[in-house]
Structure 1
Amino acid sequence: MSPGRLAGLYATEENGHPELVAIIGRDDGFLILRAPVPRELRYDALTPQVPAAFWYERALHDLSGVEPAGHPRLDPLLAPQLDDLGPVRPGSDLPARDHDAVPGAEHIGPVDVTGRGVFTLPFGPVRSGVLESLELLLETGGEDILRINLRPHYKHRQIAKRFEQRTVDDAVLVAERVEGVHSVAHALAFVHAVETATDVTVPAAARLQRVVVAELERMANHLDVVTQLCDCAGLAVGTARFGLHKEQVMRLMSDATGSRFGRGQVVPGGVRAALRTDPAQLRYRIRTLQARIADDLRALNGSASFLDRLRTTGRLDAGLAHRHGALGPVGRGSGVELDARVWRPYDAYPDLTPFVPASSTLTDALGRLRVRETELAQSSELIQEAVQQLAHVDPTARAPVPSADGHHLGVSESAAGEILYSVTLHAGRVVRCFARSASFHNLVLMHNVFHGDVFTDLGFIEASFGLCYAGVAM
């Protein structure tokens, strides 16, 4: 058995006593480790021995004030730097700054590369197009990107607090809004934790419907990545074609559930209602759409100029990907075959035709694209099979969910990778909810993928990761 991977790390409080909670993913499931935090709210940092804890410890320091002593870079991650606050307002206790006495470069952030002609270029948080808020500090000597540092705090919304003291039905609404583009996957991870706590048996029809909406969401997100890659390459036809395919998937979702993002469909104990689309019609539409997607992917892969922009761009070392436990297409594009639908199958996935997680050994942006291409075809097949089975099962949509107490884990696989929820319940209400997105776990790896890449490669690298920054700075 492998020693496992760090899947989550956070600080919480039990009966007035702070403690550290580490979640380890192993071959046989998850292992939860708990340790009390000393009264002075300090402990020896894990990052020097477990590099994957790097961002987790920065986040828990921001949110709880617990200090991981010896952390190599305890800069704010989810909280803004002092210099982001702007001029101090009258009446503030913060000391005024002498802007003329301190060089502006010292307010930019961490510097990892020094030398003649090297400078830091702040890029963002507002960028062209409709990209999410993110500040990138690019260290460069001209064209090559020597190092990049990321500051995602602009998206922080105190999500953990918004779960507290809500009923499980209301908390699902919060989960759906952690990462809007992964609404279904987050709702599934949350309700899986609740259903584990209550030992409820979800009806077969609901399990099948969950697969349908989850795979529609996966297809929409993968198509969005392909659209962005085409746009970066200046392929107007590809951008238009794959943008159209994504829109058609979202309209399918809207027709089936009443929401373009599938919101309101997944509830504890099952689904809110049966799909609104006739099963035979849904099968026909998804089969026809997948055939068109496959045709356009073949045409796209015939464009030498497009492929040249992806080959060797943003290479994520396979060894690093395994050590970090990289998730989703980012991990599978570097040979990490971790897919929660196969590793810990849930809902109706065990009842459908088994599939091998898509993976690639290319380790670059092209490898991540190859994973998404395969998953698009797999999702289409899963939807068609699930819809076919729906016609032969009892149409019951939801089972009653009793009240429950205790700590429980829930997991699902989004288009970006594994989503993990650690939920503490008491008398049917949420006391604490730690939501860990694949985006949070994976984004830190973007520090490590620049090997001679230049400014014009940045868009391809960012798009190929396919992450949602709202899910990073929750």
Structure 2
Amino acid sequence: MIYLEVKPEEFKSTCLKLHKELHSPVMMLFVDDERIEQGGYFIYCAFLSFKEQQWSWVKTRLPADNPVFDSIAKEIYSANLFEREIKEMFGLEPLGNPDNRRLRLHDEVWPEGHFPLRKDFSGANAGGRVGEYSAGQVFGEGIFEVPVGPVHAGIIGPGHFCFSVAGEPIIKLSTRFGFTHRGIEKLLENKLPDEGVALAERVSGDSSLAQAQAFCRAIENISKLIVPERALYLRAIFLELERMYNHISSIGGMAIDVGFSFPAALCSIIKEALQALNDRLVGSRFLKGAVAIGGCRDIKEGDKKLIIDSLAIIMADFSEVRKMLLTSVSFMDRVDTTGRLSLENAENLGVLGMAGRASGLAVDLRDNIYPYSAAGFKMMVRNEGDVLARLIIRLDEFEESGRLIQELLDKLPKGETMSQPGKYSQGSGLGAVEGARGPVLYWARLNNEGRIVRCKIVDPSFRNWTGLSLAVLENIVPDFPVCNKSFDLSYAGNDL
């Protein structure tokens, strides 16, 4: 971990240099309000050398009476959403960024001048001017708009999509989220780390394990807590089980969105088998309570046979799903070349995770990390960037996860699964986990009482929704559902 503390006027040039040298998007960009302790705001920007798994941070202090900084979004577009978030939540001005739209605090209901992540925020009840939401419109002969949402016909989160269409092809997609904003980062303030685990599990319900594990890793890094080797293996096993049930759910969703109901039904059976296995292992279908700061829940010796026997049945059913999908001419016609996201656009937007790998970005936080290195982890990458590529990545990763679980079980060491943290240390640290959708990132700072002062969360959906907006262009509206499901992003994870 490399930290570079620079003067405010050097912040932009240092970020641009690291971006160019490391060939990394902006992984995190956030503010920590330290006006009480140090008389100003601190802004952090993180980059990652994917080959060496080396994190580099740029940090600068902004005075309380002049909270402005030079925008880097024009040169590094992956910084844009972060800069909008900083202005919305802290009121700091990114000079030179023309995009000042809010992300989560909707103009119609949230008054101006109230910044909830400032330490002196006491509520938005004091009044203030509210505005009106304006989505960028496309004008021209024969162009019309198709609004969808925010409430959808299914058990999914709320999000508003507005399609500008010329004839049949989509020429612009405007998205609006924030409907499930709960103020998670604010809720974490002043909490003890052990209390924070339960909140992290609720950031995005279908990624409870990845969220909790990333949070735990951040706290463990602050306190230099050594996690037992057996716990590292079990954490990886649980993480792969979570990846498997998410991937099979997405694969079934793609099938149902083109009317292919039989493989979709079989996917539901497989997902149920995986979640029932989770419940038998840790008492939660969503793996809540499986990890804790310092380790994780243990499994009994008989559970190893349960997992292996369950996976044998699951993989047999899965092979049928794969065969049905890839040999159906009508299904392949709907997914091949549909919803393409180019490598260049993926890099510029900072799209990562499964969606990035389908466009040729060979980035996976599991690569060369123990215990995955001991299990012979193989990264799945494609270059086509379309719905079919994202489907095949999910199919291949499902099989790889099954193989990894069996390999990790074979090598599972004996011993304890928990290290007792004792008193938490003062300081800051990062936790990073490759979840089912991509990198789940938590940066936390603890005070001298061991309480959380600031916790920044980046769910992979936050950066990947923009990839969907580009991928659907020049496709037809009826293909949007399968494009959307091929990304299968989290509304709650985006909205926090």
Give TM-score, length-normalised by structure 1: 0.91
Any conservation in 2 of the 1:328–1:418 contact (CA below 8 Å)?
yes
1:18-167 alignment runs, 5 A limit? 18-27=41-50, 28=52, 29-38=54-63, 39-82=65-108, 109-167=134-192
Matched residue SS, 2:199: helix
Matched residue SS, 1:186: helix
Task: Report the Cα distance in structure 2 between the residues aligned to 1:109 and 1:287, rounded to whole angstroms.
Answer: 52
Q: CA deviation at 1:326?
A: 1.9
Cα-to-partner distance string for 1:88-145 (whole Å, 9 max, x where unaligned) = xxx9966799xxxxxxxxx662325221232333211101111210011211234321
1:299 equivalent to 2:324? Answer yes
1:400 equivalent to 2:423? Answer no
Give the alignment partner of residue 5 of structure 1, picking from 13, 25, 28.
25
Q: CA deviation at 1:169?
A: 1.2
Task: Report the Cα distance in structure 2 between the residues aligned to 1:94 and 1:192, rounded to whole angstroms.
Answer: 40
Any conservation in 1 of the 2:76–2:348 contact (CA below 8 Å)?
no
Matched residue SS, 1:472: helix
Any conservation in 2 of the 1:440–1:472 contact (CA below 8 Å)?
yes
Cα-to-partner distance string for 1:44-68 (whole Å, 9 max, x where unaligned) = 2221111111111111211111121
Q: CA deviation at 1:448?
A: 1.4
Cα-to-partner distance string for 1:346-402 (whole Å, 9 max, x where unaligned) = 5x32332x2221011111011011111110011001111222233xx3241201114
Matched residue SS, 2:382: coil
1:234 equivalent to 2:259? Answer yes
Task: Report the Cα distance in structure 1 between the residues aligned to 2:295 and 2:239, rounded to whole angstroms.
Answer: 13
Task: Report the Cα distance in structure 1 between the residues aligned to 2:254 and 2:225, rounded to whole angstroms.
Answer: 42
Runs of 4+ in 1 over 4 A off after TM superposition: 91-97
Matched residue SS, 1:397: coil
1:349 equivalent to 2:372? Answer yes
Any conservation in 1 of the 2:108–2:133 contact (CA below 8 Å)?
no
Matched residue SS, 2:26: strand
Q: Against the structure 1 CA distance between its residues 13 and 84, is the aligned structure 2 distance closer, same or farther, given a 3 Å change threshold?
A: closer
Task: Report the Cα distance in structure 2 between the residues aligned to 1:275 and 1:2, rounded to whole angstroms.
Answer: 44
Matched residue SS, 1:12: strand
Q: CA deviation at 1:423?
A: 0.8
1:49-448 alignment runs, 5 A limit? 49-82=75-108, 109-274=134-299, 278-342=303-367, 345-346=369-370, 348-352=371-375, 354-390=376-412, 393-402=413-422, 403-426=424-447, 427-448=449-470
Residue 102 of structure 1: aligned partner = none
Q: Against the structure 1 CA distance between its residues 194 and 128, is the aligned structure 2 distance closer, same or farther, given a 3 Å change threshold?
A: same
Which consecutive residues of structure 1, in runs of 5 or more, have no partner in the other structure? Answer: 86-90, 98-106
User: Which residue type is aligned with residue 70 of structure 1?
Assistant: G
Any conservation in 2 of the 1:6–1:324 contact (CA below 8 Å)?
no
Q: CA deviation at 1:9?
A: 0.8
Q: CA deviation at 1:172?
A: 0.8
Any conservation in 1 of the 2:184–2:203 contact (CA below 8 Å)?
yes
Cα-to-partner distance string for 1:206-248 (whole Å, 9 max, x where unaligned) = 1111111110000000011111101101111111111111111
Q: CA deviation at 1:264?
A: 0.5
Q: CA deviation at 1:23?
A: 1.0
Q: Against the structure 1 CA distance between its residues 306 and 96, is the aligned structure 2 distance closer, same or farther, given a 3 Å change threshold?
A: closer
Task: Report the Cα distance in structure 2 between the residues aligned to 1:275 and 1:60, rounded to whole angstroms.
Answer: 46
User: Which residue type is aligned with residue 448 of structure 1?
Assistant: L
Cα-to-partner distance string for 1:239-279 (whole Å, 9 max, x where unaligned) = 11111111111111111110000001100111134358621
Task: Report the Cα distance in structure 1 between the residues aligned to 2:110 and 2:41, rounded to whole angstroms.
Answer: 30
Range with greater deviation from structure 2 (235-244 or 266-275): 266-275
Task: Report the Cα distance in structure 1 between the residues aligned to 2:328 and 2:279, rounded to whole angstroms.
Answer: 33
Task: Report the Cα distance in structure 2 between the residues aligned to 1:207 and 1:124, rounded to whole angstroms.
Answer: 41
User: Which residue type is aligned with residue 190 of structure 2?
Assistant: Q
Matched residue SS, 1:121: strand
Q: Against the structure 1 CA distance between its residues 83 and 139, is the aligned structure 2 distance closer, same or farther, given a 3 Å change threshold?
A: farther
Residue 459 of structure 1: aligned partner = 481
Number of aligned pairs? 455
Matched residue SS, 1:440: helix
Q: Against the structure 1 CA distance between its residues 171 and 84, is the aligned structure 2 distance closer, same or farther, given a 3 Å change threshold?
A: closer
Task: Report the Cα distance in structure 1 between the residues aligned to 2:491 and 2:235, rounded to whole angstroms.
Answer: 25
User: Which residue type is aligned with residue 397 of structure 1?
Assistant: T
Task: Report the Cα distance in structure 1 between the residues aligned to 2:411 and 2:23, rounded to whole angstroms.
Answer: 38
Q: Against the structure 1 CA distance between its residues 69 and 294, is the aligned structure 2 distance closer, same or farther, given a 3 Å change threshold?
A: same
Any conservation in 2 of the 1:197–1:405 contact (CA below 8 Å)?
yes
Q: CA deviation at 1:19?
A: 2.1
Any conservation in 2 of the 1:257–1:275 contact (CA below 8 Å)?
no
Task: Report the Cα distance in structure 2 between the residues aligned to 1:461 and 1:454, rounded to whole angstroms.
Answer: 10
Give TM-score, length-normalised by structure 2: 0.87
Which consecutive residues of structure 2, in runs of 5 or more, have no partner in the other structure? Answer: 1-20, 112-124
Any conservation in 2 of the 1:325–1:336 contact (CA below 8 Å)?
no
Any conservation in 2 of the 1:108–1:122 contact (CA below 8 Å)?
no
